[in-house]
Copies of this chain bind each other. A is one copy, B any other.
Amino acid sequence: MAVYTEISDADLAAFLADYDIGEVVACKGIAEGVENSNFLLSTTVGTYILTIYEKRVRSEDLPYFLNLMEHLAARGVRCPTPIRGTDGETLHELNGKPAAIVSFLQGLCVKRVQPHHCRSLGGALARMHLAGQDFPMYRPNDLSVDGWPALLDAVGERADEVAPGLYAELRDELAELQSAWPRGLPEGVIHADLFPDNVFFRGDEVSGFIDFYFACNDLFAYDLAVCLNAWCFEPDDAFNATKARALLSAYGEVRPFQPGEVEALPVLARGSALRFLLTRLYDWLNHPPDAYVAPKDPREYIHKLRFHRGVRGPGAYGVT
C-alpha cells in the first residue's frame, strides 16, 4: 500500500503521447502493491493501471514479468495485460523510471477467506500453471532455498529481537530444509506471491491474478505451499484443513498431481513460511522510521513455520 512517485501532469502527457489510448481524464495514485507506484488511469478510451517500477524491482527482470502477463492473458488467464506503445514496446520510462500501462482488472480482494474461495483459487492457479508451460523465458526463484542463507545472514542475530532464540531456530530450520528440499518435481512458471491481496474475485469465483513481480520458474507445488500459508490459516493462527483440502483438491482436478508433489507439501510449506518470515524480519528490523509502508508483523510466520514443522504428512492438509 504505497505511492512513492508523484507524476506531474506534463510528464504524464508526455508519457501517454507514446500510447494510442486516448486522452487522460483522471489519474489517481492507488494503494496497491508495496513494491511499485500504481495509478488508476482513466482515459477517453478506457481504464488502465499505470505502474512505475521503484527500486525494489530489478529493471532487467521487467521483460520477464510483462511478457509473462501478456502470455498468460493471451491464453485466457485473467491478469493485467500490458498495453503496447506506438513503438510496439510495453516498457517505457516516466520520471526517469521504468513504467508500463496494463489493462484494468475488475474484482475485489477477499478479506475473510472462505473454503469456497480456496476452491476457486485452486482451479485458477492450476490453469495458470498450465498456461505458463510454453512461456519461453526463464527467471530463477531468488527467494527459494538457495537464496535463504544470504537472507538469514542479512537478518542475523537481530532476529532474536522479534522472538528470543529465533536466530538459532532459523539456522537449524534452514539446514534441515537444505537437505530435505525436493528436487525433480514438475516445475514451470509460478506466481510465488499469491496472497489474498493479489487475487481478485467477482462473486465466489476468481476473476484474476495481479502483481506478478515475484513470478519465476520453480516447482509448481511451491506455489501451492505459498497459498497454504497465505490462505489457510485463521486470524488466530489456527490452520484450517478444510480450506487446504478445498485448495488442493480443486487444483488437482485441473492439473493432476504427479508422484511426489503431494508428499513434498510439508517441506515446501515450511520453506515458504521461512521465505516470508525472513523477508518480513528483514523489513521489520530495517524499515526507516518514516516509512510510508508499515512493515508486516513477522511473528505470524513463526507460527506458520512451526505448524508445518509439526506436520506428519500431507494428510494434515486434507489430502493424501
What residues make up the interface of A, taking CB atoms closer than 8 Å to B? 1, 3, 6-10, 12, 24-32, 40, 42, 47, 104-112, 200-202, 289-290, 292, 294
Q: Indicate how many identical chains form the complex.
A: 2
Whether B26 pairs with A29 at a CB distance below 8 angstroms is: no
Whether B3 pairs with A110 at a CB distance below 8 angstroms is: no
Whether B9 pairs with A111 at a CB distance below 8 angstroms is: yes
Whether A29 pairs with B31 at a CB distance below 8 angstroms is: yes
- Top 7 nearest A-B pairs (CB, nearest first) are A8-B111, A29-B31, A25-B106, A3-B31, A28-B30, A9-B108, A26-B106
A7-B111, A28-B31, A30-B40 known; 6 new pairs, CB 8 Å cut-off, are A26-B104, A26-B200, A28-B30, A28-B32, A40-B40, A289-B290
Q: A1-B3, A106-B26, A111-B8 are in contact. Are A292 and B294 (CB under 8 A)?
A: yes
Which of A8, A25, A31, A292 lies at the interface centre, i.e. has the most chain B CB atoms within 10 A of its CB? A31
In the complex, residue of chain B having the shortest beta-carbon distance to the beta carbon of A110: B9
Query: What's the Cα separation between A25 and B200 when bound, in Å?
Result: 10
Whether A112 pairs with B32 at a CB distance below 8 angstroms is: no
Query: What's the Cα separation between A40 and B40 when bound, in Å?
Result: 9
Query: What's the Cα separation between A174 and B299 when bound, in Å?
Result: 51
Inter-chain contacts of A104 with B (CB < 8 A): 26
Query: What's the Cα separation between A107 and B9 when bound, in Å?
Result: 10
Whether B290 pairs with A42 at a CB distance below 8 angstroms is: no
Query: What's the Cα separation between A107 and B112 when bound, in Å?
Result: 35
In the complex, residue of chain B having the shortest beta-carbon distance to the beta carbon of A107: B26
Would you list 16 pairs from A and B whose C-beta atoms are within 8 A, ordered by A residue?
A: A1-B3, A6-B111, A7-B111, A8-B111, A9-B108, A9-B109, A9-B111, A10-B111, A10-B112, A12-B108, A25-B106, A26-B108, A30-B31, A40-B40, A289-B289, A292-B294
Whether A29 pairs with B27 at a CB distance below 8 angstroms is: no
Checking B31, B107, B290 against A31 with a beta-carbon cut-off of 8 angstroms, the contacting residue is B31
